[in-house]
Every structure is written in C-alpha cells, then in structure tokens.
Structure 1
C-alpha cells in the first residue's frame, strides 16, 4: 500500500481516523484530513503497539490498526484460508493458555493449533466441538471471567520448535538470515551515500559463513540485490521450520551524532518471547563489547518479522549508518567482519546457556 501521512486526505484517512477513535485515540472529527491531531494519534498508537514511531500509516501500521479494531464478539472466528488475524484472536489465545489449552504462539492468528485448542476447550466444557468461536463459545469463556482475568498477563513460551540442547546440536539445524530491505528498497542511506541494504547483505553473508562452519544449514530470506516484501519473507521462514531467525538492519536518525547498538525481540501488549529476549540481549552484549559502541539497549517490539514467525527471532541494528564516523567504518571489510563475529559470538553464548538450562 502507499503510505498515508500528514496532509493526505480522502476516504482512506477517514477510515484510519474512525479506527483510531474506536480504539480511544481521540481525534473527534473523522473529517478525512490527515492533520496534526491524526499524526499524533498515529504516533501514540505506534508507540503502544511497539511499532516504528513515524506518524505514517504504512503497511505494517495499517495491518496492526486493522487487527487492533477487532474485539471479542465482532465476528465469528474459525480456521480459514488465509488465516484470520486480529486482537480478538489474540485474546482468545490468551484465554486458552490461561485455562491450560495450548493455542500455539500468541500471535493473533487463527491457525490449526488455535483451532485444536478451541476444540479441546469446547469438548471439556460440553459444547459443540466445531472449532468455531461464536456465541456459545464466547459465552462459555465469559462464565470463566474471574479465572481469565487473573491469568491474562502471561509470557510466551520459548518460540523454538526444535530446542537446541548444546553447541554441537547446531549441526544440521536451519538458521534463517534476513537481510534488511533489498533491491529498490535501499533502506536508510548514509551521508556519504552508503546503502543500508547492501551493508546488511555483506554482514549477513559473513554471519552465514561463520555459522555454516559449525555445520548449520543457512537459509537467506531473499537473494542479493533483490526485493522481497515482508509477508513473503515471513512465509518462507515459517515454511522452512527453522530454529532461529536473525534479521540484520542498520539504525538511522536525523541526528547524525546518534550512535550505538540495539537489538529487538517480540513483545506485545500482554506477552513477549522469552527466548527472543535472551538471544537479543546476548547478541547486544557482544556488539557493545567488541565494537566498543554505546548501549542503545534491547527492546521488545511488535514488528511483523518478530511476531508472525514461528521460531525464536531477533532483529539487530549494530550501528547507525547515518552517523558519518560509523558509515566510514561500515565501508571497511574488517569492521563488517567484526560485526559478524559479535553476532556469531552472541548466538553461540545464547546456545551454550540454553544447553546448560
């Protein structure tokens, strides 16, 4: 979709305003003009949902806005193609988890695992076991309101379908490496003209080589120099059933003095990836130690590449490409190799701790 931003007007803007009003981000008049109040409401929504805060309604913000405006009872939920998604489904998943039924990841997607959990709940409660969340099933949940409210705030389990028991167990395991942006989507561009997408490819290939030496099977989510939208990357990741996904990006800012390393893991309003947080923190520690950069911390975010993938996933931003000094370093092969080693060492230490647990 074409991004919708300040000064835009029309039906699309009115739709955005109505959805924000429904979520109590008060714009008052849904007049179809994207002014200051609408921009501020969008920014607040993005902040609350763990998205990039830019006040622009792009593909990811729009998808999140649509999902957020679904409430329990707004529609009948069932297994379909494509899968239904929304906050109403996320609430059902949280309720199921609280009652001891495993719906899979709390991702707001009504997939086979969620349907199976709904059927188990229906069977145990004595209502039609059809996997459809309609009036009778919702009524049954509401009768258990006290239990559900007491247990609604939960952590996600370790998001890894194939647990890694030791460093040796990496042999033959699938690890997905995601180069940020690509092709016509260059990502951020440094003051000297260096493109984020090309640097991410260089670093990703170096990380892949290091992991391959340990016997890992490396899969890249896109080809070099090619564009592939985020939904196709996510579909590939889930199809491959990998153990880990590492998405490599570079940070950017309008302030050219901004510097430092940051990492990201999945976190929603009521849950987060325990394994993702541990991996993100492990890699960040190595980036800070080996690159001697400032600590921009590890953050829980709701990015699609973290939320919709079925494995432990992290997104990494080693340095700021918009910082002239760091951009110059990124042009040097030895510095990119140093970044790759930091990512590799952080991953290795994460696996060692996981094996000891």
Structure 2
C-alpha cells in the first residue's frame, strides 16, 4: 500500500515467474500534500481519517489472503511534523507498520516496480515517478537502479507554487514550465537514458485523456477492482503535447466530465503533464512510455524478496 500526497493506493497481487498476476487495486483520494502545504502539518482530523482508510484497506488485503503486507508513505508524510502520530494510529488500528520512505528508497522501489519482468538485464532505462508532492527520477540497467534523485516537484505542489487558477492562465503556464525546467536541472543527464518510462497518477492517466482507455473508478466506497489497461503505453511527444492542450486550456471539470477522471485527478493532470514534458526536454526524447507499474509493484517485489531471504533452506 502506498500512502501518497494525493491518494492511498492498495495493490493485491500474486507473484508468478512471469510477473505479478491476479492484480486487484483500490484507491482513495486523501489530499495529504495539500493539507501539509496549507497548515504545515497533517492535523488530528486528517490523521484519524487516513489511518481509518489504511486500516480498511489492510482488511481488504487480508480478505484476499495476503501473505505479506507492506505499507509505505511518501512525500507528504516525509514532510509532516506530525507523521509519527499517523504511524502510531495505523499500527493501532491495523496492526501493520507504515514505513515512511526516504526519497532515495522511494525512487529505487519505483524503478524496480516499473522495470521488473519487462526489460532485459543490459537495457538502459530511466524511470520518472511523478507524484503529487515529489518526482523521483532513476537511471539504471535492466531492473538494477544506478543513480537517482528525489525532487520537491509534484503535480499538486507545482500548481500550488504558481497559485494556479482553473484553467491556468498563459502567464501561469509559462511560470510553471520555467519552474519545472529549473528544478529538473538537478536531474543527471550523463550517459544514455535509454527507455524513458513514466509512472504515477498523471502518467498512467495520459491514455485516458487521449481516449485510448477508460478511466479507473475511484471508489466512493472502498472496494477492490481488477486493474484495467495495458501495463505499458508508448506515446509520441506530440501526443503528450496534445494531453497538455486538453488538460490546460479548459476547466478541469470539463476534462473530468469527458474522460471519467475524478475532479481532483483531472485538476492535477495539468501540473503533472508539465513535469512530463519537462522530462522529455531534459532528455531530448521524442517518446515516453507510460506505465501503471511502479512504487507499489516495487513494494510487493521487495516483500517477496524479504520472505525468500527469511525462509528456511530446503533440506
């Protein structure tokens, strides 16, 4: 389970030799990042609400007979001075430990999850995980990350930084794009970036904006659903540019109505797309492979590896 700046995602899956199968997914919007940005902390009410949602999702995983459960928290929880209260409430309600990831650990798990079972051992790849409060960028070979960085640049964070209206004005778009370009200067560009992969809520919903697949339903009532869509979708740069036009030049309510995205997700698409276009510029790339695989897959694979290490040797 991934407790992020905008959402809580649960993935229940079975590890097979060919990959993670029988994938079931649940998602809830929580807006932790906005709360921390607005008031400097999560606050008691949001902590209680989030802990209850996490506990309910843990119960769903147990109903599916999950043998191992891993809970991770990302940027908003890293930044919140009262995050320990959330960790304690989650433990009390669910019996599970919420691990607050460092930016580096988040980046490496995202890289592992995005590339596992998909690319050859010697193939160079760059994985960008664009979240609500941060972006992790990692370069590696095959499924082995080599170098990476975590940036305080996310879809929600960017819109807040430019005090974005809905839709963004031309001035706000220019300001936001310039901010993205400046922050991405910290991303190393040495060597061959190889396959450029993007994961996270914005990336995985680009095919929805383009009408290539239907939006996944964000539950008003908690429930697990089979994951939809292909694991990977290759988009040309002009398709990402088209997403920008569709997401930024009209109210987000229109985008939500036309695509089936939730109003909150539709609103965040503008900021995330600007970050993805900035990454294409940074790497001088003409196509982007977007995937629904990423951090949660990496957590599942790490759990499986830990179980294998602790299992008694045969014989």
TM-score above 0.5, yes or no: no
Which structure carries more relative contact order (alpha carbon 8 Å, separation 6+)?
2
- Where on the TM-score scale, by shorter chain, does this alignment land: which range? under 0.3
TM-score (norm 1): 0.22
- Higher strand residue share: 2
CA radius of gyration, larger in: 1
